[in-house]
Amino acid sequence: MERDQRDWDYLADVKGGAAEGTDSALFLIKQARKMNNVQRCAGVSMIKHPVLSEHCFHTGIMFMMLAPQCGVAYTLKDLEFVFLHDILETVTGDLLYPAKHCGNNNDLMDEIEGNVIEKMCPLLAPYADNALKGDALLLWRDCDMLEFLATCIEDAKLGNTGLQKELALSTAMLSATKFDAVKKAMYGLRN
């Protein structure tokens, strides 16, 4: 199958930007803008089709609002990660939801991200899922799932009746959190 010329140019741009040492701030700005064009929730039938930039923005807001309530200290670098945590998906696209959430696929995700960083785009290394540590990592993962739950709830309110599995899975995952403020937010979104 032949690639569309726009795809080919895009891949050359990503590889060239990483290989030739172009201005990293400009490169990251361009990649962040591309987050407006990558659909989230691949493999899930949605009425409203969220994009990565929306998801990362709302995850970042949740993280900032819940961190003080959870006693989680974070740095500006941590916050940058949270707001750009899916920027690697501007290169890979969003992985299918069932592949992400059937069992523990963190190793698979780490391998995919590692390959993209190593072979195509080393400038995106600070945004690999293993970049955060400690409670900031745990809270980010909770906020990432909380934002997905909010997206599913909003889509269900628009009439989507096919999200029972996604709602149940995200609720079960969030119920296991160590942060009471996250549980409170989850129950608030559900009601």
Give me the phi and psi of 51, to 5 degrees please. Answer: -115, 165
Write down the mean pLDDT value for the chain: 82
pLDDT value of position 8: 42
pLDDT value of position 136: 96
pTM: 0.81
How far is residue 4's CA from residue 161's CA, in Å, rounded to a whole number? 36
pLDDT value of position 96: 62
How far is residue 77's CA from residue 22's CA, in Å, rounded to a whole number? 21
Domain count for the chain = 1
Instruction: Give the residue numbers spanning the domain of 37.
Output: 5-190
How far is residue 56's CA from residue 51's CA, in Å, rounded to a whole number? 9
Which pLDDT tens digit goes with each residue over 31-79? 899 988 888 877 777 888 889 999 999 999 999 999 999 999 999 999 9
Q: What are the tokens at 103?
A: 């069992």
pLDDT value of position 95: 67
Element spanning 142, H or E:
helix 134-157
Q: In this predicted structure, which of 48-62, 97-111, 122-136 has the lowest mean pLDDT?
A: 97-111
